[in-house]
Amino acid sequence: MDRSTKRNFNFVNLKHPDDLKDEETQLRIRRLAMTEVGRARRKPKTKRERNEIVLEFHTPAEERLKLDRLGGGQLDPFGPYPIELDASARELLASSSNHPSQLRASWWPVGLSCAATFHNVLSNSQNFQLQKLNGFFPSQDDGLALTHHHKALRHASEMMKDPAKHKSDEVIGTVASFMCHHALLGNFTSDDWYKHRNALVRIVGLRGGYHAIDKDYLRITVTWSDLIGCFSQDVPPIIPLPHQWEADSKSPPNSPRPQRPISLAWKQQLPMQLDWISIFDDIVQLISLDREFSEKQLVLAITSGSWLEPTIYRLLSIRPLQKVNNREHVIEEVCRLGTLLFLAPFWRILGQSPVWTGAISRNLLLVLMKNLVEWNELKPLLIWVVYFAAIETKDLGERSQFVFMLGVLTSGMQLQGWDGTMQVVKSVLWVEKVYAGTDELIRDEVMHIVHQNPIGAALGDIAPSFLDDISGND
């Protein structure tokens, strides 16, 4: 059959009508629909295709079946567990498949290790149930989740009365489970997450260091509990990478590296600022080496972690503005924050939920509004960052600011309409299977701003420093 007439079908499998309320399911359906709209609206251009990296996502059926023993399938509610289950706990256990698949093979054994961690698993399970019902993850526990959380606290207190357990795997896993619980809620105002992290660091120090944790699944969970909380707040992680993650964050040695024009421009413009661009180059290569996002990567995401975790760790660790607040470091900080927003949808596709990006987009907006810098040949990076900020942020006020900035950039750089803007975005880094259809979410708003010639109007709506820079007056 001729390719132009061949029909393509995309299926979204649902177990229950309520699954349609799930935010990730709705997002997937919308993106599939917008992909077809985009294909019908315009034909791909050869020049644009050279700048796109295409990923194909496949679900390995045999590996999904293996998840039954990792806590991903239907569980026996009458099997051996750390606590005696009542009817409510059995129901939560049966619905534990609603937990994200990310690193399930690591946190699930930790969850089964003692009563305290298991109660936190049940508390989280209730919150994921609420996510399915309401379409969003709650920012605080409801009555049932809070009940299990308090039981976890009580069991943890009982364990700490036994000096023989102060440095045990069970106590380390318990403290990590509290960190994960608070990080999933995305609520850090009470400092509970920080208190548990400080306690974890002290306990591991008494144990003899992180290398003294000999169970791989526990060692990964400990870093994971720090990483997801740090990502949600955009703060540097303090718990070291597991050995399994260190090699995964960098591209394999002696393998061919795709040449990105923006990378060459960066090294010519900012030859002394190599922290961010080194990570960016590794991201480009890691994606290009795994164009189909192979079954191996999906299995790693479920078990020990894919390249995303250590890459996000590296991005959270570099802090350009802590050195000095000059042009080079401002640009690097903007790109660091933009790359975190770029990677957030990848994380969701690999099974992580929720992925809180509010602090990252908020910090990005603050940096852009407060700093006047000249981007020169690196302006494509600025458009790339602002684009992903506009589609990722959930705050409507911030979204309108980023959309406005994108309109000003499009007008100021005299790009050829929306297609010209998207060509610039895709020239930096783009993955069709992840971001297809996202341009439809903001295109009309951006072009409305462009047609109103915003550079000469609405000066009070955005920081003049930003306008002066991106309007082309370098």
The tens digit of pLDDT for each residue in 64-110 reads: 334 333 444 455 555 679 999 999 998 888 876 667 788 888 999 99
| Burial degree of 328 (CB within 10 A; 0-12, 13-18, 19+) | middle
Residue 328 has pLDDT above 90, yes or no: yes
Residue 326 has pLDDT above 60, yes or no: yes
The tens digit of pLDDT for each residue in 268-324 reads: 999 999 999 999 999 998 888 765 456 666 777 788 788 899 999 999 999 999 978
Structure tokens at 283: 């991201």
Q: What is the pLDDT of residue 195?
A: 96
Provide mean pLDDT across the span 409-419.
90
Q: What is the pLDDT of residue 79?
A: 65
Provide mean pLDDT across the span 356-362.
97
Residue 184 has pLDDT above 90, yes or no: yes
Helices 379-392, 417-428: axis angle to 10 degrees equals 100
Q: What is the pLDDT of residue 113?
A: 95
Q: What is the pLDDT of residue 62?
A: 37
Structure tokens at 432: 């069709």
* Close Cβ partners of 397 (under 8 Å, ≥ 6 residues apart): none
Q: What is the pLDDT of residue 286?
A: 85
Distance in angstroms (rounded) separating the CA atoms of residues 387 and 426: 11
Residue 469 has pLDDT above 70, yes or no: no
Q: Is the pTM of this model over 0.85?
A: no
Name the average pLDDT for the chain: 83
The tens digit of pLDDT for each residue in 161-177 reads: 999 999 999 999 999 99
Distance in angstroms (rounded) separating the CA atoms of residues 418 and 399: 18
Residue 147 has pLDDT above 90, yes or no: yes
Residue 6, CA atoms < 13 Å, CB-side half-sphere:
4
| Least confident among 57-61, 378-382, 432-436 | 57-61
Q: What is the pLDDT of residue 6?
A: 45
* Beta bridge mates, 53: 431
Q: What is the pLDDT of residue 58?
A: 42
Domain ranges, ordered by start, for the chain: 11-43, 75-240, 249-289+320-470
Distance in angstroms (rounded) separating the CA atoms of residues 95 and 77: 10
The tens digit of pLDDT for each residue in 15-39 reads: 555 555 565 665 556 555 555 544 5
Answer for the pair 433, 399: CB distance below 8 angstroms, yes or no. Answer: no
Answer for the pair 355, 344: CB distance below 8 angstroms, yes or no. Answer: yes
| Least confident among 30-34, 116-120, 216-220, 306-310 | 30-34
Residue 74, CA atoms < 13 Å, CB-side half-sphere:
1
